[in-house]
Structure 1
Amino acid sequence: MAKSLKHDTYSMEIISMDILINIFSRLPIKSLLILKSVCKSWRSLITTPYFTNLHLRLNSPSSEKLLIFVGEDHSLYSISFDFPSFAPIRIPCSSTWERFSRRKTIVGSCNGLLLCICDESSVSEALLINPSTLPCKRVPKLQVPNNCLYLSYGFGYDTLKEDYKIVRIAHFLRASFGWETMDVSVGVYSLSSDTWKLVCNVVASPFGTPVSHNGALVNNHLLHWLVSRGSVGEHRICCFDVCREEWTEVKLPFIDTDVSYSGERDLGVLDGCLCMLITGGDVWVMKEYGVQESWAKLFNILDWCVIEPLNIVPIAYSNEGNEILLRKDMFSEVYWYDVSEKRVRNVEFRCLPKYRQVSVCIRSLISLCGTS
Structure 2
Amino acid sequence: MDETGGECVYRDKWYEVECAENVLVDILSRLPIKSILVCKSVCKHWRRLISSQVFIDLQLLWSRKNSVYIVYPFMDVMMELFFVKKSGEIAKRMNFPYCDNFSPITIICSFDGLLCCINYPWKVDSGRIVDDETDLEIRICNPITRKALLIPRGSPSKEKPSVGVAFGPKINDYKIFRFFFPKRIPLAKHQSRVNRLQCEVYSSISGYWSVIGRVPYCPMRSSHSPLGSNHVFVNGKIHWFIASDEDPMIPGLILTVDIEETFGTIDLPADVTEHSYLVDLKGCLSLVAVYDEDEIMNIWTLEDKNEPKWELKCSDNIPFSNDECVEFVVARENDIFLITSNHYYIFHSDHRVWRELELSNIFETHSPVAFTYTESLLSCGGRIDPMMEYTSERDRGWRF
1:128 paired to 2:140? yes
Contiguous gaps of at least 5 residues in structure 2: 1-11, 121-130, 223-228, 292-296, 381-385, 391-400
Helix, strand or coil: the match of 1:133? Answer: coil
Contact kept, 8 Å, 1:66 with 1:79, in 2: the verdict is yes
CA contact 1:277–1:313 (8 Å) conserved in 2: no
CA contact (8 A) 1:105 1:357 kept: no
Out of 263, 271, 289, the position equivalent to 1:278 is 289
Segments of structure 1 that go 5 or more residues without pairing to the other structure are 1-7
Q: Quickly say closer, same or farther: Cα 1:76–1:304, change in 2 above 3 A.
A: closer
Taking structure 1 as reference, are residues 77 and 238 closer, same or farther at Cα in structure 2, changes over 3 Å only? same
Out of 7, 25, 31, the residue aligned to residue 29 of structure 2 is 25
Task: Find the aligned partners of 1:175 and 1:282 in 2 and give their Cα distance.
Answer: 43
Normalising by structure 1, report the TM-score: 0.77
Q: C-alpha offsets along residues 144-163 of structure 1, whole Å, 9 cap, x if unaligned?
A: 32x3x322211231226952
Instruction: Choose from 66, 69, 77 the match for 1:73.
Output: 77
Counterpart of 2:330? 315
- Indicate whether 1:247 and 2:263 are aligned: yes
Instruction: State how far apart, in whole Å, the 1-side matches of 2:307 and 2:203 are.
Output: 30
Cα contact 1:223–1:241 (8 A) shared by 2: yes
Indicate if the aligned counterparts of 1:109 and 1:115 stay in contact, CA closer than 8 A. Answer: yes
Q: Deviations over 1:38-88 (max 9, x none)?
A: 22321222122222123223542x133242314612523222416733475
Residue matched to 1:37: 41
How far apart, in 2, do the equivalents of 1:229 and 1:327 lie? 25
1:31–1:66 distance in 2 versus 1, CA, 3 Å: farther
**Distance change (3 Å), C-alpha of 1:81 and 1:304:** closer
Post-superposition Cα deviations, 1:179-223, rounded to whole Å, max 9, x if no partner, equal: 7x554211211224331111x22x251x2662552431113x310
How many Å apart are 1:247 and its aligned residue? 0.5
Alpha-carbon contact 1:218-1:273 (below 8 Å) kept: yes
Alignment CA distance shift 1:83-1:277 (3 Å): closer
Cα deviation for residue 21 of structure 1 reads 1.6
Mark the CA change 1:365 to 1:102 in structure 2 (over 3 Å): closer, same or farther: same
Q: For residue 4 of structure 1, what is the aligned residue in structure 2?
A: none
Q: In the comparison of the two structures, how many residue pairs are matched?
A: 341
> Is residue 156–residue 222 contact of structure 1 (8 Å, CA) maintained in 2?
yes
RMSD: 3.6
Give me the whole-angstrom Cα distance separating, in 2, the residues matched to 1:263 and 1:171. Answer: 25
Q: Higher strand fraction: Structure 1 or Structure 2?
A: 1
Are positions 1:300 and 2:316 aligned together? Answer: yes
Match of 2:278 among 261, 267, 280: 267
Q: Give 2:209's aligned residue.
A: 196
Tell me the residue number matched to 1:227.
242
* Residue correspondence of structure 1 range 4-153 to structure 2 within 5 A: 15-60=19-64, 62-70=65-73, 72-73=76-77, 75-81=79-85, 84-86=88-90, 88-91=92-95, 93=97, 97-119=98-120, 120-122=131-133, 123-145=135-157, 147=158, 149-153=159-163
Q: Return the alpha-carbon distance in structure 2 between the equivalents of residues 300 and 153 of structure 1.
A: 33
CA 92–240 in structure 1, closer or farther in 2 if over 3 Å, else same: closer
Superimposed CA distance per residue, residues 83-134 of structure 1 (whole angstroms, 9 cap, x where no aligned partner): 73347512362xxx23343111111011110001012232420111112221
Q: CA deviation at 1:240?
A: 0.7
SS of 1:210's equivalent in the other structure is coil
Please report how far the alpha carbon of residue 241 of structure 1 lies from its aligned counterpart in structure 2 after TM superposition: 0.3
Worse-matched range after superposition: 23-32 or 81-90: 81-90
TM-score by length of 2: 0.72
Kept in 1, the 8 Å contact 2:82–2:90? The answer is no
Structure 1: which amino acid aligns with 2:60? Answer: L
Q: Given that residues 70 and 83 in structure 2 are in contact (C-alpha distance below 8 angstroms), is that contact kept between their aligned partners in structure 1?
A: yes
What is the deviation of 1:342?
A: 5.2
The answer to whether the Cα contact below 8 Å between 1:64 and 1:82 also exists between their aligned partners in 2 is: no
Report the AA paired with residue 234 of structure 2.
Answer: V
Whole-angstrom distance in 2 between the partners of 1:191 and 1:264: 33
Q: Secondary structure at the match of 1:46?
A: helix
Within 2, Cα distance between the matches of 1:289 and 1:227? 19
